Amino acid sequence: MDTRNTCYTAFKIVGAFNPDDVSEMLELIPDRSLKIGDLRRDGTEYDFALWEIGKCTEYDVNVENQMRKSIEALKDKTEVLNRIREEFGASFYLEIVPTIYVDDINPCLAPSLDVIDFCHETRTQIDIDMYLCS
């Protein structure tokens, strides 16, 4: 069955840090990063740093599969993530952004226990920004 629904997920680190330091500590290259002072499209400056990895746009009605893909590269790095959180005062987010059409099949947004365990272990907040379309 075709669906118009979409969803993306990603893991984000936000705070006052140098994204290059986070990349070095995790030994990973982010999908996207921003430094404090980088310019937005409107010319204003970011007042926070961002380090993002695992952006998954392959929609799955079981969104937990997308969540797993987003944290896959980080599952064995919980100690390093916790050091980053403590050293830089950073916040972690597992971002879930579904766009749902009312007359389509509703996605399952329930995280699996392994995703919940990872989020608990690293103090990662689950952030769901849902868009509904008629």
Over residues 4-47, the pLDDT tens digits come to 899 999 999 999 999 999 999 999 999 999 999 999 999 999 99
48-73 core/surface letters (b: 16 or more CB in 10 A; e: else): ebbbbbbbbeebbeebbbbbbbbbee
Q: Report residue 62 as tokens.
A: 């079981």
Q: Report residue 7 as tokens.
A: 């969803």
Q: Report residue 117 as tokens.
A: 């365990």
Q: At what angle do helices 19-26 and 78-88 cross, to 10 degrees?
A: 150
pLDDT attached to residue 77: 97
pLDDT attached to residue 34: 97
Specify the higher pLDDT residue, 100 or 106: 100
Q: What is the pTM of this model?
A: 0.91
DSSP-based three-state secondary structure for 7: strand
Place of tokens 């896959």: 72
